[in-house]
């Protein structure tokens, strides 16, 4: 009793207990117990591990890939952990690049173009006590010069700004977030190294934070978003977040205010583009985090039940599940379309005492307002903003199915994205289903069939013109379109909508601002044999998420 009391005063028992719980106990689990199928391991990840081991280093497949392998799933991404430094790793591979400042890692690249694969290689990191870390008063941006020479630094709130101190494997395991993500698999001898009962938690379908959850969220608030992402991803398999891990989430979410907006934007896209967007919205609501993570994510959650946004989220999940590429520009364009559409209609119709504007300038101004209010400078005015603008600016052009407009439209680089956006609008009744079907056929037809389709439109217009001559009652505007656009005379009688004044969506300045409308002479575009297929695969809908 006296010895225990003295040990307590000297901090021995506390330190020992803390060390035991912090670093855990190494367990080497053989293949007959974990039952991982070696055939599920990516050959390029295996090659990275083998190359490092042959050079005399320790190397393992690590993280979520091991978790998925234990569950009998084929991982989409493979990470490798080693005791080699980034410079030593880079020297062993022909195409390897050191990236990052906060966490320096190496990307080993295989293949080129869309088919390339990146194996991320990290060095075992030491478990550093934040109390012993160097502290800066500002953040990454304001303290950039001060942080340049630091290996382990935190800000005033305890958030880790630098963590590049190398250490043994057991300490590397302790600094990972969840137990099911802290296991190491050696494909050579097929053992799993487990320090924190990750295999047990995987079997019990439990998502549990290593260490004290509140402390871990404070070290890196982005772990809050990772907790949401993993719980959404694993919910379909029956995983549930441990109560102690979930309890501090709402209170800790305030710490996200100190995280750079660009990093939060990237993490938001991961939530929505990993194939579990619908499940993510459900988890955010379940955990009480419908607001406060990131303003644009708040909009997604708010509109997730609306038919158009729900269809876009479901379509994104479907494409990811089928192994097809997705683009953030398409999904964000869907989420913010209601703002663009309403602002467009307001300007065209001259609501609230405003002077009515022509359709295209009105659409441009509405888009500018949405970018300023919802996107800001996080994505700059670069490719993402330019792609969103093109998708929106092409929407009124789908109403013009005469002259050279259909030919020029299907040749636009973003036609497939814009068409699939319009296809979703048709699915929810915002656009005529007949128009969507016409464009689907026109974009994949040969020259003869395209001419037939154009003749069909001209015949329909002549029929409508005769009907209007007998009954001059204006047609009722279709849902979702500005009323002033519906009051425009027939395209033939107005020389294809004011002599085809339109925005060339492919001529965007570098800053993403739309070019001014310009007048073009109408002429028939020469067609080559077999031309006219502007889509990327001719899929009937949903292929728009591809870049």
Positions annotated as catalytic residues are: 77, 79, 177
CA–CA separation, 383 and 381 (whole Å) = 7
The owner of tokens 């500018």 is 368
Cα dist. 299→271, 292, 296 in Å? Answer: 14, 11, 5
Identify which of 452, 463, 448 has the alpha carbon closest to the alpha carbon of residue 401: 452
Calpha distance 115→246 (Å, rounded):
38
Which string of DSSP letters, residue by residue, matches 356-412? Answer: P--HHHHHHHHHHHHIIIIITTTTTTSHHHHHHHHHHHTGGGGG--STTHHHHHHTS
Start-to-end CA distance of the chain, whole Å, equals 69
Q: Is the dihedral of CA 208, 263, 274, 112 positive or negative?
A: negative
What are the phi and psi torsion angles at 266 (to 5°)? Answer: -65, -40
DSSP conformation class of 62: E
Question: What is the chain's alpha carbon radius of gyration, rounded to the nearest angstrom?
Answer: 28
Please give the helix or strand (H or E) that residue 497 lies within, else none: none
- Contact by Cβ (8 Å): 192, 184: yes
Q: Which residues have C-beta within 8 Å of that of residue 317, sequence separation ≥ 6?
A: 275, 276, 277, 278
Q: Which residues, 6 or more positions from 521, have their beta carbon under 8 angstroms from its beta carbon?
A: none
Query: What gap in Å lies between CA 310 and CA 481, rounded to an integer?
Result: 20
Instruction: Please list the residues that pair with 49 across neighbouring strands.
Output: none
């Amino acid at each position: 009793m006296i010895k225990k009391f003295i040990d307590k005063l000297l901090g021995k028992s506390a330190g020992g207990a803390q060390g035991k719980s912090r670093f855990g106990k190494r367990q080497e689990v053989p293949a007959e117990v974990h039952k991982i199928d070696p055939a599920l391991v990516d050959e390029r990840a295996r090659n990275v591990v083998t190359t490092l081991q042959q050079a005399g280093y320790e190397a393992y497949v690590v993280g979520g890939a091991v978790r998925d392998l234990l569950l009998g799933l084929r991982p989409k991404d493979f990470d490798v952990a080693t005791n080699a430094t980034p410079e030593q790793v880079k020297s062993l591979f022909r195409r390897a690049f050191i990236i990052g400042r906060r966490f320096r890692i190496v990307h080993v690249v295989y293949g080129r173009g869309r088919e390339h694969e990146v194996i991320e290689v990290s060095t075992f990191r030491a478990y550093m006590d934040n109390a012993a870390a160097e502290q800066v008063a500002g953040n990454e941006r304001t303290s950039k010069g001060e942080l340049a020479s630091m290996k382990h630094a935190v800000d005033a709130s305890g958030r880790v700004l630098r963590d590049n101190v190398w250490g043994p494997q057991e300490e590397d395991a302790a600094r990972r977030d969840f137990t099911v993500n802290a296991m190491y698999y050696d494909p050579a001898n097929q053992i799993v190294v487990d320090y924190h009962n990750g295999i047990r938690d995987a079997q019990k379908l439990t998502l549990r934070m290593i260490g004290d959850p509140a402390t871990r969220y404070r070290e890196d608030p982005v772990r809050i978003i990772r907790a949401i992402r993993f719980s959404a991803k694993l919910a379909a398999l029956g995983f549930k977040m441990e109560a102690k891990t979930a309890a501090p989430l709402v209170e800790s979410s305030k710490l996200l205010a100190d995280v750079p907006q660009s990093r939060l934007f990237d993490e938001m896209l991961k939530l929505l583009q990993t194939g579990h967007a619908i499940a993510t919205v459900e988890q955010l609501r379940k955990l009480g985090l419908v607001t406060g993570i990131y303003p644009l994510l708040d909009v997604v959650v708010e509109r997730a039940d609306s038919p158009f946004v729900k269809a876009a989220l479901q379509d994104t999940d479907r494409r990811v599940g089928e192994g097809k590429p997705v683009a953030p520009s398409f999904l964000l364009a869907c989420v913010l379309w209601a703002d663009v559409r309403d602002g467009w209609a307001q300007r065209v119709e001259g609501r609230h005492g405003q002077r009515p504007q022509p359709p295209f300038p009105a659409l441009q101004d509405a888009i500018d307002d949405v970018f300023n209010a919802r996107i800001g400078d996080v994505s700059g005015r670069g490719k993402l903003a330019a792609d969103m603008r093109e998708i929106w600016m092409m929407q009124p052009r789908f109403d013009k199915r005469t002259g050279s407009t259909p030919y020029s439209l299907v040749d636009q680089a973003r036609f497939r994205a814009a068409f699939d956006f319009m296809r979703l609008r048709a699915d929810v009744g915002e656009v005529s289903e007949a128009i969507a079907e016409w464009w689907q056929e026109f974009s994949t037809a040969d020259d003869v069939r395209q001419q037939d389709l154009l003749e069909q439109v001209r015949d329909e217009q002549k029929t409508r013109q005769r009907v209007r001559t007998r009954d001059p009652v204006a047609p009722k505007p279709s849902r979702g379109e500005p009323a002033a656009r519906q009051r425009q005379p027939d395209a033939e009688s107005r020389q294809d909508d004011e002599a085809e004044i339109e925005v060339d969506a492919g001529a965007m300045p570098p800053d993403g601002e739309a070019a001014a409308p310009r007048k073009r002479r109408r002429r028939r575009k020469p067609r080559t044999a077999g031309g006219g297929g502007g889509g990327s695969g001719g899929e009937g809908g949903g292929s728009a998420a591809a870049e």
